[in-house]
A and B are shown apart, each in its own frame.
Chain A
Amino acid sequence: MMEKMIFGRYIPVDSPLHKMDPRAKLLTIIIFIAVVFLADNTLTYGLLAIFTLAAIWLSNIPIKFLFNGLKFLFWIILFTFFLHIFFTKEGDLLYKFGFIEIYQGGLRQGIFISLRFFFLLLVTSLLTLTTTPIEITDGIESLLKPLKKVGFPVHELSLMISIALRFIPTLMDETDKIMKAQMARGVDFSEGTIKQRAKAVVPLLIPLFINAFKRAEELATAMEARGYRGGEGRTKYRLLKWGMIDNIAILTLFILTILLLLLR
């Protein structure tokens, strides 16, 4: 189940979207999230659909793969859809069965809201699919840089995120190991009442925390030994490159916004 989920996973292929500057991608998404709410008729929703499809096409990620991976989220969309169909009572009555009444306005609203949700999901998952977590971190750090002046710990935050990202697989491995060691000592993680299961987690969590603290301490020592003394005076190895493609992306979004404003 976990293996098939693609939300939050990076797919290393070559594509124009992969080549984009993470800052441009982050900006594009922020603007997109805002302008999605401008659409209110078939034409504007059509524009959003074209934009989304174009983005998917440019990402080189097979559409089937994308949809399969997002399958579990479709239930949420379906739920929103029915919520609107049953509870929005506007326009002509289309269908009536017992206490169920479906109105034209409800159907329309249901479709539009679901589509909006759907577009947002697709575009945001494109970000994580085409950008490595560390690039996203770099992008966020760079975009937040102005906040440094008001004392916001931008460097510390981004270092924290990047170390967390680096240690996720290590800690996953460790969880697996400790789980197996405790299973070998008779712990059953998959059976029993909720109370029993909660109790079974203790022999997993305590060693995990103790080891994590030990790791943190050793890592801090290793960082200090390599001359880490805070963000002051540090240079940066990872380079973000703003290119033509990023200009085009921002321009496209600008045009999209104007069109949406004109056509709504």
Chain B
Amino acid sequence: MFLAKSVRLAFVFRGEMKSMAKEIVRFQDVTFKYDENASYALNGVNFSVYEGEWLAIVGHNGSGKSTIAKLMNGLIFPDSGSIYVNGKEISEETVWDVRDLVGMVFQNPDNQFVGTTVQDDVAFGLENHGIPREEMVKRVHDSLAKVKMDQFLNQEPHHLSGGQKQRVAIASVLALRPAIIILDEATSMLDPRGRSEVLGTVRELKNLNNLTIISITHDLEEAVKADRLIVMNRGTVYAEGTPADIFLMDEKLVELGLDIPFTQKLIKKFKENGYHIPDEILHEDKLVDYLCKLLQKI
């Protein structure tokens, strides 16, 4: 029931998005297996990402969401179907152009820190692209300033916290001026402070640079702030829509190995107790406002 409704809503929403924004990534009937004998990691996946949006791809561990990230950057290629980035199909020939457009921040903060110091790490990608040195110096400093890590230029990675390392990883990606940044469970190994540090940074950057953000996560509190959500289950797109649509799925999400954000849980509890909270209230601040008015009226 809920599912049908949310998918319908999603289509309406997609229609709107198309007229508003340009499609920047498209997955068309994508199928992928890691191993001949293994089951499908992805099976007939179709979806689009639009320029300037924050898309969250959620799903339990093993639902295929990380495979999507690797495919989007040409780190692996689909068994069948096609992936288009900025209109170009990803293939052996176009993969390096695609990587220029798509930056990735991975899960483990340690295993993506290449340089011996913060500034060397940011420079690594620039060196790969043959950027002249003066330009490199400028970009290294600029992008580190944007993630507020410019005080740590010569710091070595083992003296940084997980959150700081991930911010350096973001700066490294940013220095290459991508159009899309993929966060592949980039906050799952961080403590709460590191997590909010990283998400805050990404949010600021997105607004500043008109970036497209694709965050792959199982943290629903992270997903609730996205513009749009895709729920993955066993290698297929289970549902697609705005956070409002998706959280209407309620218990279904729990069955899929996910969770319901706090605000939705609270609204549900109110409903169970016979208090109906209007559907348009989704975010915590709105709920606080609503309850506040309610409590002051009495």
Contacts and interface: CB of A to CB of B under 8 A. Distances in A.
| Physical contact A–B (CB less than 8 Å) | yes
B136 A222 contact: no
Interface stretch (A60-68, A88-96, A236-244, A245-253): A236-244
A221 B106 contact: yes
Interface in A158-198: 162-163, 165-166, 169-170, 173
A14 B70 CA distance: 45
B25 interface: no
A165 B116 CA distance: 7
B63 to A, nearest CB: 20
A219 B110 CA distance: 9
Given A224-B75, A226-B124, A166 B115 contact: yes
A234 B132 CA distance: 9
Given A170-B158, A222-B111, A227-B176, A162 B116 contact: yes
A239 B133 CA distance: 9
B193 interface: no
Contacts of B27: none
Contacts of B116: 132-134, 162, 165-166
Contacts of B127: 234-237
Interface residues of A, number: 30
Given A134-B116, A169-B156, A235 B131 contact: yes
Interface string A215-232: 100110111111111000
Interface of A: 132-134, 162-163, 165-166, 169-170, 173, 214-215, 218-219, 221-229, 233-239
Interface of B: 70, 73, 75, 96, 99-100, 103-104, 106, 108, 110-117, 119-120, 123-133, 136-137, 140, 156-158, 172-173, 176
Given A222-B111, A237-B136, 17 more contacts: A132-B116, A133-B116, A134-B120, A163-B114, A165-B116, A166-B115, A170-B157, A170-B158, A221-B106, A222-B104, A225-B73, A226-B128, A227-B96, A235-B130, A235-B133, A237-B124, A239-B133
Query: Which 6 pairs from chain A and chain B are nearest by CB?
Result: A237-B123, A222-B112, A226-B125, A218-B111, A169-B158, A227-B128
